[in-house]
Structure 1
């Protein structure tokens, strides 16, 4: 059964905003007391936070779909809907958040570090909030905005100061078990360690963490053995320690060849060339191992490596090795640049920034892009003519109508805003002066009594797949046939 997972794909969904309410206050002797529809609540967001008690991504392996709570809808008597609860996901220290195409979105290092991955949708305003001096009793309300949907890859990279690397059964697990309180599985067969183990080592007034990485073999950087899955756990290590088995009986194995093979894999993986190295010649309590260690020591020192003879069975040489680890870790910490304080950069908008752009498409249509127009479209109920008229007024005040005309748009051209398509009718939608009418209606639609709703027109257009000018040309021919 899987007990350690360091890479998962999460499907996160923030909560949708609640719909605003359409309500008119009514009581005895006050048949029309004005609008009192409340606002919808905001949807909950999805956030990732580093927790010291979490060490694996195992929970998300079995539960990859996460969703925050939706906001509640508004109600009459000016009652606003409740906000949806945020979903806080606890992840291990060292978790990297990536998009599906490999872009790094966040690197979560340090307990308490938080990243908001998916933001909840805004709640729609009720008709009480939409009322003004001209529109005293709106017959519509805004819809709740959908929450963000995001698929991410969580990848765990252990945060350790020292990484132990070497062939399987070299004694890495035994070493970490005797210099720290970690209790990894130890056995006399290869690949006993299937997951990285972390241990905390204290030397005088120095404290640092050591990672025991599963054994590497030639070809690990290309996917052989377990190396490809766990090489990422040495990326953050400031010091690498080669643990070499001097008593191995495998043919073709010797300390120099083992180090060359491991260094080749580290070089192919990349990004580790600048890390200081130490060499721990393990199992010198065995006579043959001690003799081999004495033979290869001059060659290793000639390469500029610091070599230590150790035995995890008799504890020989461990004190000198741990002091050398602490020295290099301390040097690395002093050489690290100081953490820069968080700075808030404020970039004011340009004077001529309208907040949207208009792009002419090759097929003759136009696409309006911008956070406000796209949000307004999402919050509009297109089955309500008054809501559609209100959207037209907002777009006109923003300058969308004017820029569409300057871009060359003609009546009947297809205009896209977000996931909606419209037949642009400037004579109908460009007016910015609201004329009161019955609730839920707009007088600008009354000159065409048989005009279908916006959603019906969109459905009919998609079914016909013809342009408006084709409809105009086809109309006289149809009348002639009827005569």
Structure 2
């Protein structure tokens, strides 16, 4: 049995970018031919595409988690990793995309309209791309960026020109069935219509669509009945038609009270797409005049309806089809008037916003959770953190150089940071040790040296020579000569030498 789903929550995860490759070119007579590591491939994005052949969000109801493929890793010999293909998700025409905060991200109208729901991660650079005159053979590469993860709410708002409103069993489904080729379910019990039904109607030169919305009852805007779930389907309607049951057996109801009750619910409903339902033109269809009591009631209440609302009134019967021609032509005229007054949509243009003058691209704030700590926020610093392999000292040094060139260290110094204070960038927290004298009292080093190397635990060549001399100081000349011959013999016997 088919189901109609018009609201789903989708967890979209784009593909991660491939890691860059750290490789050195090697061939005969060229043991160190320079870096040749290729870049990683781009991860696949998740894109929503409008398809007029899709009419429900049922697929996402069964598969709410959508994950795109990641890019492949770069390889040696300058081989770039392959880019992953974007994942295209087909959605119905009229789908509205919301974020976690309920803000509208996109209103997808028109066949082929596209929206990037989650952006794929960029691939990391290989060491060939990181080579420079100062760093001729980098021993590291950048990691690929993780794909964007987003939780989105998709809601379908039907694209209908005319919306039929009324209490349950007012005859809305019957009206759609006789005006168009649609065949909605019709039965003699309330809430027969559980999902919106669309029908295409032709009246003279006008062709328009009619939406049969499930029956509304007082309190629908507060969640009673089925009306609240489907009021969103009349947000795009340019004309609203009140279908009134004039042959109801409920003595406490009358056409004026029914319309007033539904208008009160419409006034309390706030369309998510903006605007208001108050400015939509209305028509009144007094249904079931084939019943004698209903025909008499129409003559009684016509004057009251005209005085109370002032909207065009059409007595109709879906059983005998009386008055349907007049009603359909009135609908077509109202739709045509709305289309003529509507401002034509302009084609979307790409807007390039230049970077503001003086914008460094990051901010430095005091960390409210860590005493004496600071937080650096910005797209580039956070992206660089994600791209760094912290198990590689050279990669960490490259990150420090990038942050220093961007001005992060200078900004930290101006904000009051001192060496050793915790600094958080993205998901990484580290103890800040300034690598440049930007605003910090540090001893300047000579040309070609780096004071950061003084703090390393690695033993230098000079120290190794002194240690070797101290170990050999107590040996005699004969013992030193025997040791030299032993080392020479084993060097010749070594097959790898």
Q: Same fold (TM over 0.5)?
A: yes
Match of 1:274 in 2: 279
CA distance in 2 between partners of 1:88 and 1:223 (Å): 34
The answer to whether structure 1 residue 364 and structure 2 residue 372 are counterparts is yes
Q: Helix, strand or coil for the counterpart of 1:174?
A: helix
Q: In structure 2, how many angstroms separate the alpha carbons of the residues matched to 1:172 and 1:242?
A: 9
Counterparts of 1:50 and 1:358, CA distance in 2: 42
What is the distance in 1 between the residues matched to 2:260 and 2:75? 72
Q: Distance in 2 between matches of 1:372 and 1:361?
A: 19
* Alpha-carbon distance, 1:343 to partner: 3.8
For the residues of structure 2 that align with 1:340 and 1:100, how far apart are their CA atoms?
29
1:376-455 correspondence runs (5 A): 376-427=384-435, 444-445=452-453, 447-449=455-457
Q: Would the aligned equivalents of 1:396 and 1:432 in 2 still touch at CA under 8 Å?
A: no
Tell whether the 8 Å contact from 2:404 to 2:435 is kept in structure 1 after alignment: no
Correspondence 1:337 to 2:313 = no
**CA distance in 2 between partners of 1:262 and 1:276 (Å):** 15
Work out the CA distance in 1 between the residues paired with 2:187 and 2:64: 34
Residues 269-322 of structure 1 deviation map (CA, whole Å, 9 limit, x = unaligned): 142111111111111112222111122112112231211111111211111001
- 1:246 equivalent in alignment to 2:246: yes
**Structure 1 segment 51-130 matched on structure 2, within 5 A:** 51-130=51-130
Secondary structure of the 2:146 match is coil
Task: Tell me what 2:181 maps to.
Answer: 181
Counterpart Cα distance in 1 of 2:207 and 2:86: 37
Cα separation, 1, equivalents of 2:349 and 2:436: 48
8 Å CA contact retained: 2:42, 2:84: yes
Segments of structure 2 that go 5 or more residues without pairing to the other structure are 271-275, 439-443, 460-497
Paired position in structure 2 for 1:255: 255
Q: Measure the CA separation in 1 of the matches of 2:27 and 2:192.
A: 77
CA distance in 2, matches of 1:111, 1:101: 27
Distance 1:433 1:50, change over 3 A: farther
In 2, the alpha carbon distance for the partners of 1:155 and 1:342 equals 22
Contact 2:435–2:452 (CA under 8 A) maintained in structure 1: no
Please list the CA deviations of residues 243-290 of structure 1 after superposition, one character each: whole Å capped at 9, or x if unmatched. Answer: 111111223222222112211211221421111111111111122221
**TM-score, with structure 1 as normaliser:** 0.88
Q: Which moved more, 1:403-412 or 1:139-148?
A: 403-412
Q: 1:164 to 1:252 in 2, by over 3 A?
A: same
Deviation at 1:428, TM superposition (A): 7.9
Q: CA deviation at 1:77?
A: 1.2
Q: 1:402 to 1:187 in 2, by over 3 A?
A: same
Question: Is structure 2 residue 237 aligned with structure 1 residue 231?
Answer: no
Q: Secondary structure at the match of 1:426?
A: coil
Assess, with a 3 A threshold, how the Cα gap between structure 1 residues 435 and 71 changes in structure 2: closer, same or farther: farther
Partners of 1:434 and 1:348 in 2: CA distance: 38
Is 1:295 matched with 2:303?
Answer: no
Q: 2:446 & 2:336 partners in 1: Cα distance?
A: 71
Rounded Cα–Cα distance in structure 2 between residues aligned with 1:183 and 1:294:
31
Contact 1:163/1:213 (<8 A) preserved: yes
Distance in 2 between residues matched to 1:434 and 1:264, nearest whole Å: 80
Post-superposition offset of 1:225: 0.7
**Structure 2 CA distance, aligned partners of 1:63 and 1:343?**
34
TM-score (norm 2): 0.86
Deviation at 1:97, TM superposition (A): 0.8
Cα distance in 2 for partners of 1:433, 1:144 equals: 36
* Change over 3 Å in CA distance of 1:432–1:340 after alignment to 2: farther
* Match status 1:284 vs 2:289: yes
Q: Distance in 1 between the 2:447 and 2:16 partners?
A: 30
Q: Conserved in 2, the CA contact under 8 Å of 1:13 and 1:46?
A: yes
Mapped to 2, the partners of 1:47 and 1:153 lie a distance apart of 14
Superposed CA offset, 1:204-262 (max 9, x none) = 22111110000111111111110111111111111110111111122322222211221
Contact map agreement 1:167 1:244 (CA 8 A) in 2: yes
Partner of 2:328: 322
Question: d(CA) in 1 for partners of 2:124 and 2:267?
Answer: 55
Paired position in structure 2 for 1:454: none
2:319 pairs with 293, 313, 317, which one? 313
In the alignment, is residue 217 of structure 1 matched against residue 210 of structure 2? no
Match of 1:471 in 2: none
Query: Which residue of the partner structure matches residue 460 of structure 1?
Result: none
CA distance in 2, matches of 1:36, 1:313: 80
Judging changes above 3 Å, is the alpha-carbon distance between structure 1 residues 73 and 434 closer, same or farther for their aligned structure 2 residues? farther
Q: Specify the structure having the higher radius of gyration (Cα).
A: 2
Structure 2: how far apart are the matches of 1:388 and 1:434? Answer: 22
* CA deviation map 1:305-343 (0-9, x unaligned): 211111111211111001000111111111112323434
Paired with 1:287 and 1:73, the residues of 2 have a C-alpha distance of: 79
Contact 2:404–2:436 under 8 Å retained in 1: no
Q: CA shift at 1:433, angstroms? A: 11
